[in-house]
Structure 1
Amino acid sequence: MELCSVFLPTILLLLLSVLYSAILFFKRSAPPKATESLVLKSYPVIGNLPHFIKNGRRLLEWTTDLIASSPTGTVTVAPIVFTANPTNVEHVARTNFQNYPKGGEILSTFHDFLGRGIFNSNGEEWLLQRKAASFEFNTKSLRAFVLDKVRHETVDRLIPLLKRAGRSGEVLDLQDVLERFAFDNICSLVFGEDPKCLALESEDGERFYHAFHEATELSIERAKQPFSLIWKLSKWLDLESERRLRESMETVHGLVEKYVRSRRKLSREGGGSDFLSRFAADGAHSDEFIRDILISFVLAGRDTTPTALTWFFWILSSKPEVVEKIREEIRVIRSQRRNYDSEVLTLDELREMGYLHAALSESMRIYPPVPLRPCESRREDELPDGTRVRKGWTVMYSTYAMGRAEGIWGQDCGEFRPERWMEDGVFQPASPFRYTVFHAGPRMCLGKDMAYIQMKAVAASILEGFEVEVVENRGKHHLSMTMRMEGGLPVRIKERNIS
């Protein structure tokens, strides 16, 4: 009798919940008006979980199809709202920015790896890091430092590697080459330390590279779990995936903390141009906080530019006319500046390369490095297109779907056409609320200009000096921290005679 009295209220509450959900599910409501966003009908009790399980491996395609079928470019799959509507993006990313921070579940999922770094924080902690990073990114000395590191990595490592592969006929995984290139560069920028991953010359660098990659992948696997309780239980039980994550994080944190302690001592003697020297010289932050900030910077530089360049070279493999236009642009700029011998273009020359800039932008429109941008609603809200958002729901704008939206880019949105970015021979940028590759509003990417510098320097050097042949069928994506190419990009290199 006592047992019944304890469980009866719970059982009745559960039955009422099931009955209420069933009524909502079977209720025949009027079809949505032409101006209403699409709302995916959920199942009783379990909601939309079956939809996410069924489409988990094709999330981008599934949500893009749903968005395309919605009159407003928005679809509600409670508790998530997916949108490709520029007015909604502006509302979430700028107008009502304070209501849409990063969600608590996301922060919790990545906390072990990213701590309180800029990519895993809100409020004052985020603002503090944003202001400090914004100041650093806007200094001329930093831009010169970045280009100097890119030039060194290109001339001393990338070009010799490609020449050797061309002579031997070796097949290279271009995605792996570009990721190692980017990792060397971002570590030099952030820590003032060169891991020499592209040259395979450092055991510590190789260990850092692989540990960082594994920690990133396993953290993403956490985020893909339908309930956070699953990974938390796995962590408590010390299951294999969580054990591997802990071990890889220990490697990453240990090396970064070693760099921080070392630079603390040097900063008293004058410091350097890298981020670590600049933050260490401040003396206002703990070693752990600096560690978290720097890991976020490495994450940003390691993944995004190589992902963008991998898709770019894959697209160009079937666009010889675009390749020739880029090469002609390089020839013209070199001729005008009488720069015939340097293997890397100067900063001013790279900035003049409007067509290459357009081709890279067009590639990222179709294959954005970060295809989905989530945030969480603090309060109930209504988006500009009328979509209702409940407190605690996730609003996710899809850069991937926006790049394929006919309403934004026209009927030829499925075509790769760099000319859409050019007007009278000059590159014309798009609104960040239409072209969300670099985010928008207060969280807009601070490294955008430097990302373009690096991508243009690498792309120009490779296209000018080499023919790149893709030797295996590719084109499928793998969703990690970025939209990497599944299986890499195997290519064969042939050196060009440009004399």
Structure 2
Amino acid sequence: MVPLVLFFIVKPKKSISSDSNIFPKSYPIIGSTFASLANKENSIQWLSDILQNSPSATYTLHQFSRGYHVYTANPSNVQHILKTKFHIYPKGDFFKSTLFDFLGNGIFNVDGDSWKFQRQVSSHEFNTKSLRNFVETVVITELSDRMIPILSDAVDNKTVVEFQDILKRFAFDNICKIAFGFDPAYLLPSLPEAEFAKAFEEGVKISSERLGSLFPIKWKIKRFFNIGSEKRLKMLVSQVREFATNIIREKKKELKEKSSIESVDLLSRFLSSGHSDENFVTDIVISFILAGRDTTSAALTWFFWLLSKNPQVEKEILKEIREKSSMSVYEEVKHMAYTHASLCESMRLYPPVPLDGKLAEEDDVLPDGTVVKKGTTVTYHVYAMGRSKELWGPDFAEFKPERWLKRDDNGKWIFVAKDQYTYPVFQAGPRICLGKEMAFLQMKEVVAEILKRFKVVPTVEDGVEPVFVAFLTAKMKGGFLVRIEERNE
């Protein structure tokens, strides 16, 4: 899940009332640039309010430096750009050139034949049972050997922990093991400043600031003169790619010396299948780290926050965990319908990728009648869609896993998936996330292992809402400070 998303913060509102004043004033030549600048720090909520007050949940914003930009929260439009007219809505040159320094020609930064080839190769590898088994082993090991002991220490010492950081470190270790077969050991008890992890994180932050800039010429000038943040990004990219390349060379050597070695991680699988070009493999593995690194940790951060505010949901999840405890890991998470629904509901309200954009390569008309000129960016607003009264009903602001469930003849919960164009949290159409099932496997196992042992209690005062921050993926501003309590029920 990699977005065209920007550097914004938002304090989510619980309800939206129709207000014609929400629409920004537009002036000749400069359009709504003043309004965009005034709302830059709260842009996701600002745009969400506009869409929820627009008749067809679509709005065309005009900015001096970026021209016309269509935003939509209309499922018919989303299906149109992600499936029906997929061929005329690629990532586009702006997205690719902005992120090229960091992502290169990786799967999330290319279109056309290059994307098709990488997608085909990756899809084959993601659908193997051996990879699923490897993911299970990685997740269980990381939980039992690192996360659970850290949380147990927090219980014993009555310390406050930054849970978002713990989850981020956990996800980074996991994705590096799965993608590279390399353990950065970022979740050791000392919580080390792992060089590769820190360089990757800062590189993502600066790259996302590029995307969010209302005046891209600023970062391009800095890059031309090699100054400021662009000088820093160049150094970070070099560090990340050198690190990745060294791992690839070591893996090649290992595979050559031990021809019978089992190819379990994605890197070994790509190399073993004949894809040995270092630049190609580096680009695609970096893309997978970006996709798996912050999306699962962001989803889990907001999930545990919502759970702390909804004890009845936590009680139902615990009941389900205890019922499935005698099953194998895979069977356990596979049958955790209520937990699965709760994760989906959490990501509806706090999507890890709040919006994603494509570039129109031809003149077009969206299903709702919106005219799109060639060269226009069209962005579907996932955050706004998840908070739409029209799509989710009058209780859209509530955390309600039951909206994803129904009872079978025996009274057991059955998960009922929503239309992917109404709920494009994992994208949709040909570019739908390859790692979706892997992400759910990881998240459900984390939820099960933590909740059956501990209670996660936020330290913030009642009524204080955390702030939603979006870089390339969403975060909780300032972290998620919690106390860990042993569960005695």
Shift of 1:156: 0.7
2:458 paired with 1:470? yes
**What secondary structure is seen at the aligned counterpart in 2 of 1:160?**
helix
- TM-score, normalized by length of structure 2? 0.90
Letter in structure 1 aligned against 2:34 = P
Among 391, 399, 402, the alignment partner of 1:419 is 402
Aligned to 1:25: none
| C-alpha distance in structure 2 between counterparts of 1:387 and 1:111, whole Å | 31
Among 209, 230, 238, the alignment partner of 2:226 is 238
Contact 1:371–1:400 (Cα < 8 Å) also in 2: yes
Shift of 1:406: 1.1
Per-residue CA deviations over 1:435-494 (Å, capped at 9, x if unaligned) read: 111100000001111100100000111111001110024421111111111011000001
Letter in structure 2 aligned against 1:370 = V
| C-alpha distance in structure 2 between counterparts of 1:206 and 1:247, whole Å | 16
Contact 2:146–2:189 (Cα < 8 Å) also in 1: no
Contact 2:363–2:373 (Cα < 8 Å) also in 1: yes
2:250 paired with 1:262? yes
Per-residue CA deviations over 1:390-410 (Å, capped at 9, x if unaligned) read: 111110001100001111111
Contact 1:260–1:287 (Cα < 8 Å) also in 2: yes
Aligned to 1:218: 206
| C-alpha distance in structure 2 between counterparts of 1:284 and 1:240, whole Å | 37
2:450 paired with 1:459? no
Gaps of 5+ in 1: 1-37, 340-344
Per-residue CA deviations over 1:325-359 (Å, capped at 9, x if unaligned) read: 1111111222xx3x6xxxxx611011111000011
| C-alpha distance in structure 2 between counterparts of 1:283 and 1:427, whole Å | 40
1:401-412 superposed matches below 5 A: 401-412=384-395
Contact 2:60–2:69 (Cα < 8 Å) also in 1: yes
C-alpha change, 1:494 and 1:327, in structure 2 (3 Å) is: same
Contact 1:39–1:75 (Cα < 8 Å) also in 2: no
Among 433, 437, 442, the alignment partner of 2:425 is 437
Aligned to 2:376: 393
Letter in structure 2 aligned against 1:442 = P
| C-alpha distance in structure 2 between counterparts of 1:377 and 1:42, whole Å | 23
| C-alpha distance in structure 2 between counterparts of 1:200 and 1:273, whole Å | 27
Shift of 1:281: 2.0
| C-alpha distance in structure 2 between counterparts of 1:381 and 1:324, whole Å | 49
**What secondary structure is seen at the aligned counterpart in 1 of 2:362?**
coil
| C-alpha distance in structure 1 between counterparts of 2:430 and 2:286, whole Å | 21
Q: Which moved more, 1:282-291 or 1:353-362?
A: 282-291
Aligned to 2:410: none
2:304 paired with 1:316? no
- TM-score, normalized by length of structure 1? 0.88
| C-alpha distance in structure 1 between counterparts of 2:99 and 2:172, whole Å | 20
**What secondary structure is seen at the aligned counterpart in 2 of 1:144?**
helix
Q: Higher relative CO (CA 8 A, sep ≥ 6), structure 1 or 2?
A: 2
2:366 paired with 1:378? no
**What secondary structure is seen at the aligned counterpart in 2 of 1:130?**
helix
C-alpha change, 1:474 and 1:167, in structure 2 (3 Å) is: farther
Per-residue CA deviations over 1:415-435 (Å, capped at 9, x if unaligned) read: 110011111120100010001
Among 334, 344, 348, the alignment partner of 1:365 is 348
Aligned to 1:72: 56
Letter in structure 2 aligned against 1:351 = K
Identical residues among aligned pairs (%): 45
1:12-27 superposed matches below 5 A: none
Which protein has the bigger helix share?
1
Contact 1:466–1:496 (Cα < 8 Å) also in 2: yes
C-alpha change, 1:87 and 1:120, in structure 2 (3 Å) is: same
Shift of 1:45: 1.9
Contact 2:150–2:189 (Cα < 8 Å) also in 1: no
**What secondary structure is seen at the aligned counterpart in 2 of 1:119?**
helix
C-alpha change, 1:330 and 1:365, in structure 2 (3 Å) is: same
Aligned to 1:90: 79
Aligned to 1:60: 44
Among 275, 278, 293, the alignment partner of 2:266 is 275
Per-residue CA deviations over 1:247-267 (Å, capped at 9, x if unaligned) read: 211111111000111112222
| C-alpha distance in structure 1 between counterparts of 2:376 and 2:25, whole Å | 16
Shift of 1:200: 5.6
2:106 paired with 1:128? no
**What secondary structure is seen at the aligned counterpart in 1 of 2:332?**
helix
| C-alpha distance in structure 2 between counterparts of 1:414 and 1:489, whole Å | 21
Shift of 1:72: 0.6
The alignment covers a number of residue pairs equal to 452
2:126 paired with 1:137? yes
| C-alpha distance in structure 2 between counterparts of 1:47 and 1:403, whole Å | 28
2:419 paired with 1:428? no
Shift of 1:283: 3.3
Letter in structure 2 aligned against 1:174 = F
Contact 1:39–1:76 (Cα < 8 Å) also in 2: no
Give the alignment's Cα RMSD to 1 decimal: 1.6
**What secondary structure is seen at the aligned counterpart in 1 of 2:59?**
strand
Contact 1:470–1:489 (Cα < 8 Å) also in 2: yes
| C-alpha distance in structure 2 between counterparts of 1:64 and 1:291, whole Å | 36
C-alpha change, 1:41 and 1:201, in structure 2 (3 Å) is: closer
Over alpha carbons, which structure has the higher Rg?
Answer: 1
Aligned to 1:117: 106
**What secondary structure is seen at the aligned counterpart in 2 of 1:433?**
coil
Letter in structure 1 aligned against 2:481 = P
**What secondary structure is seen at the aligned counterpart in 2 of 1:493?**
strand
Contact 1:190–1:297 (Cα < 8 Å) also in 2: yes
Per-residue CA deviations over 1:224-263 (Å, capped at 9, x if unaligned) read: 1123321111112222211211121111111100011111
**What secondary structure is seen at the aligned counterpart in 2 of 1:258?**
helix
Aligned to 1:164: 153
Gaps of 5+ in 2: 1-21, 63-67, 408-412
